[in-house]
Amino acid sequence: MDIMRILAKSAPPHSDFLTARQMSKRLNSVRSNSMRALETAQNYFFQTALPRLEADLPGVMPVIAAGWSGRGSECWGFDDDISHDHDFAIGFALYLTREAEAEHGFALGRFYTRLLKEFPPEQFPASLSSKLGGSEHGVIIIEDFFERHLGFPGAPQSVEQWLYTPEYALAEAVNGAIFLDNANVISRIRRAIAEDMPEDVRLKKLAARAVSMAQSGQYNFMRCIKHNEPGAAMLYLSDFVRSGISMVFLLNRTFAPYSKWALRAMKSLLILPELSGEFEHLLTGSEPPEQKAELVENICAKIIGELKIQQLSNLNDDYLEAHAFEIMKHIKSRRISSLHIMEG
């Protein structure tokens, strides 16, 4: 059950922020029997944190957002027992604009620290932090959150930012859930990232992925086998899978997560979710190279079929590179269409 979607559909406008009792009632009505960390954190926020926040700091309520987004399996809903061994703790972020943080940040930070000390979440113990881990909890300035994940303080504003920001970073910026957003700042930015990528940018990326898949999987994989270079062949097969993953997410008009969760996340897509298993089989199967080459061609055929459904190519050609040039013909921006076909 997708608890975040149900809550979002039932929520009032952002300007009319909810009381703890209202949100707790809605939450209880859709609670799942099996909770992961994100849902546990959401319960903790509405049932434990929000009533105390309303009582202790009522002045912050109109400008606050709360949620959990960013790095970590918890933000994807993919956490399990293994996830608990490092950088794991139940908590949430309290998001404020830089201006609001200057006024309320100190008091809000003290509130959050006191809350966890006096009313600690009981479901999961916190684990040790790694040097590469980063907390997505506590008081977070909204502009800093996006700067940390994307390199700029909000949604991409230029063609270059859309083209060259890693797709996994864009995915991290909009994953997880925003439990409450009375200021409608972070939610507005997340919507812009999720929905406003220019179509010409998507087409440019699709064309680049098509060329990469053709070069790595349809051409170089078996060529390296014939040269008796099996290691190089496997590198090209990995390149084919990486490009293919990105291709499938772009065909779904969304962003691929980083490698650890990309295949798992693909299973929930509407378009070509079955390719998740086929990509995994390419990487882990023990068949001879000739059979893997056949699977590569089958995958490319499905990609080509979807390109035709989306009216991006009408060629009768089995080689994906040919379709890349057809995709390029749909790009309206001369600036983008003049880029090298493999850029993006």
Percentage, residues of the chain above pLDDT 70: 84
Given a cut of 60, whether residue 191 has pLDDT beyond it is: yes
Mean pLDDT of the chain: 88
The pLDDT score that the predictor gives to residue 65 is 98
Helices marked H in the chain? 3-10, 20-29, 37-44, 50-56, 98-118, 142-150, 159-164, 167-174, 186-195, 199-213, 221-226, 230-251, 259-266, 275-284, 289-309, 320-328, 334-337
CATH class assigned to 199-337: mainly alpha
Given a cut of 60, whether residue 15 has pLDDT beyond it is: no
Q: pTM here?
A: 0.86
Residue 24 pLDDT grade (very low, low, confident, very high; cuts 50, 70, 90):
very low
The pLDDT score that the predictor gives to residue 8 is 37
Least confident of 34-38, 114-118, 194-198, 308-312: 34-38
289-317: pLDDT as tens digits: 999 999 999 999 999 999 999 999 999 99
SS3 for 333?
coil
Instruction: For residues 115 and 28, give the distance between their C-alpha atoms in angstroms, rounded to a whole number.
Output: 22
The ranges assigned to domains in the chain are 3-195, 199-337
